[in-house]
Amino acid sequence: MEDFDILYMMKTPFYLGDLDKALTEANQVEINAEDARNQNLKNLYIVRALTAKSDFLGLKTFMTSLLKDPSKQMEVANFSVLA
């Protein structure tokens, strides 16, 4: 049986262009700390949604909060290239 996609509720509105709903779902989804893959995907979708909305203040705030965690610094560097 295929694993349940934990980010489904966030990805669906993101791909349908409802970026506000995608960001709302991102704030509500709970991901275990051990699930680094889904956490990274969640963060990537948040960065992409904020970029698509041209919400650069929100993007700066989000990226700054990630930079406070030393284990996330490489992830932020990758987002900087992708965004």
The predicted structure's pLDDT at residue 3: 60
Three-state DSSP state, 52: helix
Instruction: Name the one residue in this structure whose structure tokens are 């996330």.
Output: 72
Cβ contact 47:55 at 8 Å: no
Whether the model pTM is above 0.85: no
Tell me what pLDDT residue 1 has: 39
Domain layout of the chain by residue ranges? 8-82
CA–centroid distance for 41 within its chain: 6
The amino acid present at 17, given as its one-letter code, is G
List the pLDDT tens digit at each of the 83 positions of the chain: 346 688 998 999 999 999 999 999 998 998 988 888 898 889 989 999 999 999 999 999 998 898 888 878 777 777 776 65
